[in-house]
Amino acid sequence: MAFVIALGVLVSGSGSNLQAIVDAAQAGTIDARVAVVVSNVAGAKAVERSRAAGIRTQVIDHRGYADRRAFDAAVVEVLRECGVDLVVLAGFMRVVSDVLLGAFPWRVVNIHPALLPAFPGLHGQKQAVDAGVRIAGCTVHFVDSGMDTGPIIAQAAVPVLPDDDEESLGARILEQEHMLFPSVLQWFAEGRVEVIPSAGDGMRPRVCVHGASTAFGLRQLG
Ligand code: GRF
């Protein structure tokens, strides 16, 4: 039996993933509610979307803070105030510090437009086109202190077509993102997501999602 989890969604840009999450929550297809949206960019389209949906929306401009940790402390204060269970990075263009990660241990997730660990960092879609890979996709993962290095929760694959450029491939990936992210959030609501700690044998922590398939896409090749 799922309970309704309170999400704190952090954004910087267009907010199409935020929209997919809000739509799923409003439609009742996920047992989640967006308790607050925090943007570090005042003019982001995501802010407009959030306000239009009647969600508490907080702009916290990182430029007003001495460093990442001070900025994160301000973000954590808002997230705590709003009773957030899970922090969702949806196009949030800031590297987070131990202040946020320590406040929400194993409770910060991100979506990245590439099949990690390939193509971390900026422009994952362009990196895929430039590398000539035939399969690209997106990854939802826990956030750790590295750049897109945290334990992987789920991935969706798409084909890379011969004429693809960053934009056309990006659009195909984004379509998958909008399905993958809400699905993963529902697994959190259902308590299916378990982190298996490292056994100290050099292995990193891994994620087990009980009773769910965590690989999507490319069924046409099957
Ligand atoms: C997405 O491609 C996501 O994978 C990446 O940033 C982009 C955000 O898009 N982290 P949007 O703001 O959700 O439209």
pLDDT computed for residue 96 by the predictor: 97
Same fold, 1-105 and 113-222: yes
Convert the pLDDT of each residue in 46-70 to its tens digit: 999 999 999 999 999 999 999 999 9
Convert the pLDDT of each residue in 136-149 to its tens digit: 999 999 999 999 99
pLDDT computed for residue 185 by the predictor: 98
pLDDT computed for residue 1 by the predictor: 56
Convert the pLDDT of each residue in 152-168 to its tens digit: 999 999 999 999 999 99
Tell me if 111 CB under 6 Å of ligand 1. yes
Convert the pLDDT of each residue in 166-205 to its tens digit: 999 999 999 999 999 999 999 999 999 999 998 887 788 9
pLDDT computed for residue 56 by the predictor: 98
Annotated catalytic residue 62: no
pLDDT computed for residue 36 by the predictor: 98
User: Any residues with CB less than 8 A from the CB of 51 and at least 6 apart, and which?
Assistant: 57
Q: How remote is the CA of residue 111 from the centroid of ligand 1, in Å?
A: 7
In this predicted structure, the answer to whether residue 7 has a pLDDT above a threshold of 60 is yes
Q: Ligand 1 pocket test: which of 16, 45, 143 has the largest number of ligand atoms within 8 Å of its C-beta?
A: 16
| CATH number of the domain located at residue range(s) 1-105 in this protein | 3.40.50.170
Task: State residue 28 phi and psi, 5-degree precision.
Answer: 80, 15
Q: What predicted TM-score, i.e. pTM, was given to this entire model? A: 0.96
> For atom 10 of ligand 1, which residue has the closest CA?
91
pLDDT confidence bin for 3, thresholds 50/70/90? confident
Convert the pLDDT of each residue in 85-137 to its tens digit: 999 999 999 999 999 999 999 999 999 999 999 999 999 999 999 999 999 99
- Written in H, E and C, the secondary structure of 100-129 is HHHHCCCCEEEEECCCCCCCCCCCHHHHHH
CA nearest neighbour of 116 among 86, 87, 153: 153
In this predicted structure, the answer to whether residue 219 has a pLDDT above a threshold of 70 is no
Query: Which position among 112, 123, 178, 210 bears the catalytic label?
Result: 112
Mean pLDDT, residues 27-35 taken together: 97
Tell me if 186 CB under 6 Å of ligand 1. no
| CATH number of the domain located at residue range(s) 113-222 in this protein | 3.40.50.170
pLDDT computed for residue 166 by the predictor: 97
> For atom 8 of ligand 1, which residue has the closest CA?
91
In the DSSP assignment, the letter for residue 146 is S
Checking 122-130 for CB contacts under 8 A at 24+ apart, the result is: 123/166, 125/166, 125/169, 125/170, 125/173, 126/166, 128/160, 128/169, 129/160, 129/164, 129/165, 129/166, 129/169
pLDDT computed for residue 222 by the predictor: 45
Q: How far is it, in rounded angstroms, from Cα 32 to Cα 22?
A: 9
Atom of ligand 1 nearest to the CA of 12: 12
Could you tell me the residue ranges of all domains in the chain? 1-105, 113-222
> For atom 7 of ligand 1, which residue has the closest CA?
91
